[in-house]
Amino acid sequence: MALKKIYPTPDEAMADIPDGATIMIGGFGHAIDRPQTLIKALANRCLKNLTLISNSAGVAGKLGIGSLGGKPFVDEDILIEKGQVRKVICSVPASLVMSKPNALERLHKEGKIELEYVPQGTLAERIRAGGAGLGGFYTPTGVGTLIEKGKEKRTMDGKEMVLEFALRADYAFIRAYKADTMGNLIYKGVMRSFNAIMPQAVKVAIVEVEEIVEAGGLDPEIIITPGIFVDRIVKIPREEG
């Protein structure tokens, strides 16, 4: 018998997340591709010492910046602001408005939160490597910059390269457009970005979607994330997108 994957509420889908968990949060940085419902539910859990892995870490913050006609949206900033986060691994740690630093910028300067800055392409490849079962890879990105500090280097084909290790996590929060009851996912537009590579690199992938159909209701040719990598699905109202 297939395991139950559809959960009635975000709270039930994340009920077992403990303090100290490592969570990948999907999305490129827009409202439409952010797992906002899951982020808000996690903020209500009041967990502590979390490690977040995401492309950005609070580009909106409390500034109310959205990508859909100025519609406000939430992101990792709400978790950081509440003191739930111990460490952030990301590519875009800064706010969109440079004169108004987000919670990560402020708390990192105060020594209250750890930040590991990773170039965007390197971050994507570290997550992909984690999902593929690899230990790491060498890349020329970051050579000659602060990125290479403390990292092993080798010369390959005449180029200096740094060793980057794969990233894995306990959970992933991602946003997809549509799922079937087996967990197969399709995306819309920018939703595909980091959302599509994270489920393979975690122990438990939790997905929020706008629509759920019966198994067989999705064209196999357009499925991006196979259901074998998806553990829990929550349907959200379209107005929350």
pLDDT at residue number 25: 97
Q: What is the mean pLDDT of residues 124-152?
A: 96
The mean-pLDDT minimum among 66-70, 86-90, 169-173 falls in 66-70
Buried b (16+ CB within 10 A) or exposed e, 42-62: bbebebeebbbbbbbbbbbbe
pLDDT reported for residue 74: 84
Spatial distance between the Cα atoms of 90 and 104, rounded to a whole number of angstroms:
11
Spell out the domain ranges in the chain.
Answer: 20-117+168-236
pLDDT digits (tens, 9 = 90+) for 82-113: 999 999 999 988 766 555 778 888 899 999 99
Could you tell me which residue, 66 or 99, shows the higher pLDDT?
Answer: 99
E-assigned strands of 50-168?
A: 50-56, 85-92, 114-117, 136-139, 153-156, 159-165
pLDDT of residue 63: 47
Mean pLDDT of 139-154: 95
CA angle 60-232-1, nearest 5°? 170
Q: What's the mean pLDDT in 52-65?
A: 71
- pLDDT at residue 71 tops 70: no
| The CATH homologous superfamily of the domain defined by 20-117+168-236 | Glutaconate Coenzyme A-transferase (3.40.1080.10)
Lookup: tokens for 100: 């108004």
Provide the token pair at 133.
């079962």
